[in-house]
């Protein structure tokens, strides 16, 4: 079974990215063939500083390795180093109705917030479909916010196959039972995201003082019971979810552990658990950042491996559509 999942290189990896995606990549790599592209071309849909962009990509690779991506068993690579991603995206563009892209909620959200509504932003899910289908992927572990994009990917595979004959596998999304949608600390009705300012998210590499401050200041609900009820108590439920996943227990168990606790002692326990979880990650990241050549080599090797698979698929696609 082949697994593929990507992450954008902008901003530090936050707790939502980790619990919704990266932690599960690390678990899957022991039992599955895994490919993890750092999707730099997707990040270009928002304006980036060309002077620092490349080093952000390198930093993202160091972060993923620090969080446990194993370069001996997984293929970690930079999306733009495998040219077939954009070539396949173009072919997919020619069979994707514009109306389907206009309906994507992420496109609507992003274009409502941004002044820079470029074609890339609209085409983002088509490139994502190319990332996935290029490798005949079986499983795609992502957060809940990517479900619609995955449905488009499956539809793209079906459409191409029916137009040109069976070429692509239809991949399945793999959503975490818990943690597929980690909410913002500032506004627990919204998902945790880098775009909502630093008080809404926790970086996996955040310093101890800041972790404590953010968790203690996390918006919670009226009342004083530690109860899992996402509708009535979204703030407490979010913190319970985070606690339970990091502790490796069920939400029910976490809830009963804090049956007699008040908000403040519960939050302190969440902050302490977060700190012990992330402490080794920051150390490892620093160590990897000082070994740039090592990280570069991993990415190059990953790019070569990914290319060898991608080239096979593209050769077939070119012949199917009559380009060769």
Binding site for ligand TYM (CB under 6 A): 4-8, 16-17, 19-21, 39, 42, 128, 131-132, 140, 142-143, 145-146, 180-182, 191-193
DSSP letter string, 262-302: -HHHHHHHHHHHHHHHHHHHHHHHHHHHT-HHHHHHHHHHH
Closest CB to ligand TYM among 180 and 269?
A: 180
Closest CB to ligand TYM among 144 and 311?
A: 144
Catalytic residue among 23, 110, 186, 233: 110
Closest CB to ligand TYM among 8 and 220?
A: 8
**Taking the complex as a whole, how short is the minimal distance between the CB of residue 188 and ligand TYM, in angstroms?**
11
Contact 78, 40 (CB under 8 A): yes
Is 169 known to be catalytic? no
In DSSP terms, 33 is beta-bridged to 2
Is 51 known to be catalytic? no
**Taking the complex as a whole, how short is the minimal distance between the CB of residue 160 and ligand TYM, in angstroms?**
17
Closest CB to ligand TYM among 24 and 267?
A: 24
In DSSP terms, 174 is beta-bridged to 141
Is 214 known to be catalytic? no
**Taking the complex as a whole, how short is the minimal distance between the CB of residue 95 and ligand TYM, in angstroms?**
19
Say which residue the tokens 């899910």 belong to: 125
Rounded CA-CA distance 235/184 in Å is 9
Residue nearest to ligand TYM (CB): 20
Rounded CA-CA distance 255/277 in Å is 20
Closest CA to 220 of 270, 261, 186, 190: 186
**Taking the complex as a whole, how short is the minimal distance between the CB of residue 4 and ligand TYM, in angstroms?**
6
Rounded CA-CA distance 141/31 in Å is 14
Rounded CA-CA distance 282/61 in Å is 13
Closest CB to ligand TYM among 39 and 215?
A: 39
**Taking the complex as a whole, how short is the minimal distance between the CB of residue 149 and ligand TYM, in angstroms?**
6
Catalytic residue among 23, 60, 181, 191: 191
Residues tagged active-site: 110, 191, 194
């Amino acid at each position: 079974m082949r697994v593929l999942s990507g992450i954008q290189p902008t901003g530090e990896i936050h707790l939502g990215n980790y619990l919704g995606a990266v932690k599960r990549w690390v678990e899957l790599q022991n039992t599955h063939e895994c490919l993890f592209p750092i999707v730099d071309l997707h990040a270009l849909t928002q304006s980036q500083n060309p002077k620092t962009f490349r080093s952000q990509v390198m930093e993202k690779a160091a972060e993923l390795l620090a969080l446990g991506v194993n370069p001996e068993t997984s293929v970690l690579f930079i999306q733009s180093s495998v040219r077939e991603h954009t070539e396949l995206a173009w072919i997919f563009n020619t069979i994707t109705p514009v109306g389907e892209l206009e309906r994507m909620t992420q496109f609507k959200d992003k274009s409502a917030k941004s002044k820079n509504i470029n074609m890339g932003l609209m085409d983002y899910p088509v490139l994502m479909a190319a990332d996935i289908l290029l490798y005949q992927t079986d499983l795609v572990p992502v957060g809940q916010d990517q479900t619609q994009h995955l449905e488009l990917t499956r539809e793209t595979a079906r459409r191409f196959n029916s137009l040109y004959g069976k070429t692509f596998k239809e991949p399945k999304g793999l959503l975490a039972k818990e943690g597929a949608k980690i909410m913002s600390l500032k506004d627990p009705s919204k998902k945790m995201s880098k775009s909502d300012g630093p008080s809404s998210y926790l970086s996996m590499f955040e310093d101890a003082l800041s972790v404590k401050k953010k968790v203690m200041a996390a918006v919670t609900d009226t009342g004083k019971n530690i109860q899992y009820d996402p509708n009535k108590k979204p703030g407490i439920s979010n913190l319970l979810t985070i606690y339970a996943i990091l502790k490796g227990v069920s939400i029910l168990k976490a809830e009963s552990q804090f049956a007699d606790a008040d908000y403040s002692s519960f939050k302190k326990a969440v902050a302490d658990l977060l700190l012990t979880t992330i402490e080794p990650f920051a150390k490892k990241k620093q160590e990897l950042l000082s070994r740039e050549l090592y990280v570069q080599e991993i990415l190059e090797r990953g790019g070569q491996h990914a290319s060898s698979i991608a080239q096979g698929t593209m050769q077939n696609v070119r012949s199917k559509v009559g380009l060769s």
